[in-house]
Structure 1
């Protein structure tokens, strides 16, 4: 099988592990920098130009699209889809997961548990007071719609702090979500790694002291975790709702069960493989193998 790993950084841990896992299973793996691709369209002949030549059609691709190039990256993935190439994640799934509002709407629609969340266009002081009451009072979490790795996520301890933060973002014309704060989570969350409708690994991430965000990029620590059946079902359901076959699903433990926070289309492999000591990259390659073997009408 010929596999392209769409990644702007060939030396990243996740990219290297995917190449290694594919090679160990006897496949030909090539890193293609999607930001350097040119999408060529003409009648009945979609092409992708890379390094001065038309890319040979692969059997499958694994998109590792950074948030800052979502629009262009998904255009490249879509071009491969036009060529009927198997993709670990669809362009539509990637786009939906990158939009935090769309993700919350999809999860809510299928009945999955999420923190109470409000989206409003530049609310005024009195409106902010009402919205805060509707999600249970302060503290509240305020999120930029397209933040990643804990960036663009703030905790407002008081109504006045929330108003000041929202006013600042309104001045920048930035879209935000206002979300209830789950105190009992204690600065910890759960990352479940889903591949092909199955949880293949999970870890508990604990934020450093004084930090409510648990992201490893923010100094959080990870430990292996065995999920309950309820948590597994929530993670698999979340990935399915957003349209991803490969996903990192972030959940908060709460008094009312696991609450879905986010669904990531390009989850990092270093933290989950380090915590679980599992070959997660190999699971992704195995998923592609099985998908290619399925009859086309299945």
Structure 2
């Protein structure tokens, strides 16, 4: 199978592992920097070039699109979809997952457990907005932050107001959520491929922090997710249209709650913690769909991104 991986850096661990896994399974694979792809769009067909040369004929594409290039990266992926390449994560699905507010609205509408979340724009409504949420502590998050960046814990009502006023002054989009104290700074990363959780790890925040992201000094160990946790993770990914996803859950008194669904989850932490060949599983899943003789999912998810 002729396979492309959309990634800005071929030396990143996740990209390297996907390339190794693809070659080990006998596929032809190439890493394409999405910012070096450019397109011709016409009613008589779609064309793409990369560093001056035409590219076409990719049976499948694995997107590793960073948050900073979401818009352009999704445009490139959408073009490849229109050129009949299969992808486990469509451009529309990635856009849905990247917008935390939109993601929470979609998941809540389908009954997925979430921390209570509020959102508002006008400063005059801040008091009532926080009253809708309940007493602090509160978690304030940038709407498109990643790896724990732009996430703040406010322990007093005045601190919540101050954080909100500061973000509004910066014209930043953000949400405010309830703080789940019983989680004790830990969350669960369930790695979903297709219709199952292929690996899971428990991440613990370092002392003095509440963010469990490994990039921020958190620790990780393999864990056996419960049936309810696995079902929640798989359902959340499916609702958003993601065939590959890292679903972050917290264990609460009312069951598993989804914190975030990552459309481009890193492989280094999960593979190191669990010993599972996640990259190989992703490639096998993509190959089983990308080589299908049917017309690939063209035009089925392109108008929603």
TM-score if structure 2 supplies the norm length? 0.94
Aligned to 1:49: 49
Aligned to 2:99: 99
- Cα distance in 2 between the residues matched to 1:293 and 1:79: 19
4+ residue stretches of structure 1 with deviation over 3 A?
Answer: 292-295
| More off after superposition, 241-250 vs 38-47 | 38-47
Q: Residue 11 of structure 1 corresponds to which residue in structure 2?
A: 11
Report the alpha carbon displacement of residue 290 of structure 1 after superposing the two structures with TM.
1.8
Residue 45 of structure 1, CA deviation? 2.2
* 1:76 corresponding residue in structure 2: 76
Aligned-pair distance for 1:130? 2.8
Write the distance in 1 (CA, Å) between the matches of 2:203 and 2:167.
28
1:114 alignment counterpart: 114
Contact 1:62 1:88 in 2 (8 A): yes
5 Å matches for 1:1-298?
A: 1-124=1-124, 127-294=125-292, 296=294
In the TM superposition, residue 136 of structure 1 has moved relative to its aligned partner by 2.7
Over aligned residues, Cα RMSD in angstroms? 1.3
Query: Greater CA deviation, 109-118 or 37-46?
Result: 37-46
| Stretches of structure 2 lacking an aligned partner (at least 5 in a row) | 297-305
8 Å CA contact retained: 1:122, 1:166:
no
| Structure 1 residue matching 2:42: 3-state secondary structure | coil
Q: State whether residues 129 and 159 of structure 1, in contact with CA within 8 Å, keep that contact through their aligned partners in structure 2.
A: no
Contact map agreement 1:187 1:213 (CA 8 A) in 2:
yes
1:180 and 1:130 map into 2 onto residues whose CA distance is 15
Q: SS of 1:74's equivalent?
A: helix
Matched residue count: 296
Question: Partners in 2 of 1:91 and 1:69 — Cα distance?
Answer: 12
Given that residues 9 and 33 in structure 1 are in contact (C-alpha distance below 8 angstroms), is that contact kept between their aligned partners in structure 2?
Answer: yes
For residues 174-221 of structure 1, the C-alpha deviation after alignment (integer angstroms, 9 at most, x for no partner) is 111010000011111010000012100000000100100000011000
Question: CA–CA distance in 1 between the matches of 2:270 and 2:74?
Answer: 25
Determine the C-alpha separation between the residues in 2 that align with 1:189 and 1:123.
32
Contact 1:63 1:87 in 2 (8 A): yes
Deviation at 1:128, TM superposition (A): 2.9
Q: Give the alignment's TM-score, normalised by structure 1.
A: 0.97
The range that moved more, 15-24 or 53-62, is: 53-62
C-alpha contact (below 8 Å) 1:39/1:79 kept by paired residues:
yes
CA contact (8 A) 2:119 2:129 kept: no
Decide whether aligned partners of structure 1 residues 172 and 122 sit closer, same or farther in structure 2, where only a CA change above 3 A counts: farther
Q: Distance in 2 between matches of 1:294 and 1:230?
A: 32
In structure 2, what is the Cα distance between the partners aligned to 1:68 and 1:292? 27
Q: Is the 8 A contact 1:122 1:167 kept in 2?
A: no
1:293 to partner: Cα distance = 4.9
Q: Which runs of 5+ in 1 are unaligned?
A: none
3-state DSSP of counterpart to 1:278: coil
Deviation string, structure 1 residues 127-175 (Cα, Å, up to 9, x no partner): 3333333223100000111101000110111000001110111111111
2: distance between equivalents of 1:207 and 1:122? 33
Q: Which of structures 1 and 2 has the larger relative contact order (alpha carbons within 8 angstroms, sep 6+)?
A: 2
